[in-house]
Structure 1
Amino acid sequence: MARYEYPFTIIHRCGHPGSYKATQDLLLGYKERLRARDCDECRNAKGGQETLTIDGQECVLPAITIGSDAQIAWAVKIRRKVLTVLLKNHHQGEPNPVDWMRNLTSAKWWIDHRDVPPAALAPAVPKAA
């Protein structure tokens, strides 16, 4: 049976509207993630960067660009969860967890490592990444 995709329009954080489609089971979470980010045009104008605000701390990371739309949305959610945990447990003098995330723009890497404890992720980052 074919799954119906519902069209919808949202206003992004930057104030620009965006039109999308999603199945009913993904609709609510997808809308919230899209509202919380800038539109594609604004992100590209910023050099493909994405700004995440976690516990009042603003983190600028490159946008996850490698993967399908669904994979990217999932990877952004995983990265946000990991970053939240790492920033809550971050102590002065330790390396900033954002630093090792800067070159990870593949949704596949985040999805493949989704079950790895956040504290163990930094050593899992390939040296070429």
Structure 2
Amino acid sequence: MAVKTLWNIDHACGHTTEADLADRSADRRAGYARWLSARDCIDCWRAARGEDAESRAEWLAKKRAAEQAEAQEWSEQYRMPALEGTDRAIAWGIRCRHRLVSAAYTALVLEGTTSEAEWEAIEDVVRPLTRAGWWIDQRDADPADLPELLDAATESDRPNENPTSETPHPRPKGCRASVLRLPHTALRRHRSTPHHAPRQPRRRLRALPPRRLVTRSASRERGLSRAPGAAAR
């Protein structure tokens, strides 16, 4: 007698389903049916999985909101400037900065040999680092390595370290954009100085001698005097 392929499974959730086990070998069907009976049916399993996903997403959102509020309060308390980047990067960077700097204080000051005065110097280096991407990149770094990480930061990570208060000069009419970078004195000199070769001194015109100034009537008479008939006379 052949081993049956259709099995009635009484699941742990209380539901009964019919499972087709024809794709399994005959000696494994009974064991697989017993394994199915110890678990929920497919509908209950999908519903439970969806609820778990929703509950996990809700828990993660609440946790992230609490971390964001704590990081924002910490930034205001220790006068940390705002970060630069996209909205998502700024929020993420604030949390990363809070976690890294707080953990570094514990590792270097509370558990290490760094004094409070030395830590204040470290904080002064932390503040100009306002690029959110830099703090996101250091999210997995060792907190004790914070001083070395700060030394490795580049000028692009400190966009507002040396802000300038100078305002650009207004563009004169007909002036090219490259000239606007020059000061006013240099601008006048730039206008008066050509880009090509130095200007040659203007040559003075000399007056022609009187004999060269010949009128039209005189030239006509001179032409008649040179005619062949006149020469024969």
| Shorter-chain TM-score tier | 0.5 to 0.7
Q: 2:94 aligns with which of 76, 93, 102?
A: 76
Aligned counterpart, 1:61:
80
TM-score (ref. length: structure 2): 0.33
Which structure has more RCO (C-alpha within 8 Å, separation ≥ 6)? 1
- Whether the 8 Å CA contact 2:68–2:95 is kept in 1: the answer is no
Aligned counterpart, 2:62:
28
Looking at CA atoms only, which structure, 1 or 2, has the larger radius of gyration? 2
Matches within 5 A, 1:6-21: none
Query: Percent sequence identity over matched residues?
Result: 27
Aligned counterpart, 1:122:
150
What is the total number of aligned residue pairs between the two structures?
89
Distance 1:24-1:62 versus aligned 2 partners, 3 A rule: same
CA displacement at 1:79 relative to structure 2 = 0.6
CA distance in 2, matches of 1:63, 1:33: 17
Higher strand share goes to which structure?
Answer: 1
Distance 1:35-1:80 versus aligned 2 partners, 3 A rule: closer
- Whether the 8 Å CA contact 2:68–2:94 is kept in 1: the answer is no
CA distance in 2, matches of 1:72, 1:127: 19
- Whether the 8 Å CA contact 1:100–1:125 is kept in 2: the answer is no
TM-score (ref. length: structure 1): 0.54
Q: 2:133 aligns with which of 89, 108, 111?
A: 108
CA distance in 2, matches of 1:127, 1:95: 22
CA displacement at 1:127 relative to structure 2 = 4.6
CA distance in 2, matches of 1:34, 1:98: 20
| Cα-Cα RMSD | 2.5
CA displacement at 1:98 relative to structure 2 = 1.2
Aligned counterpart, 1:55:
none
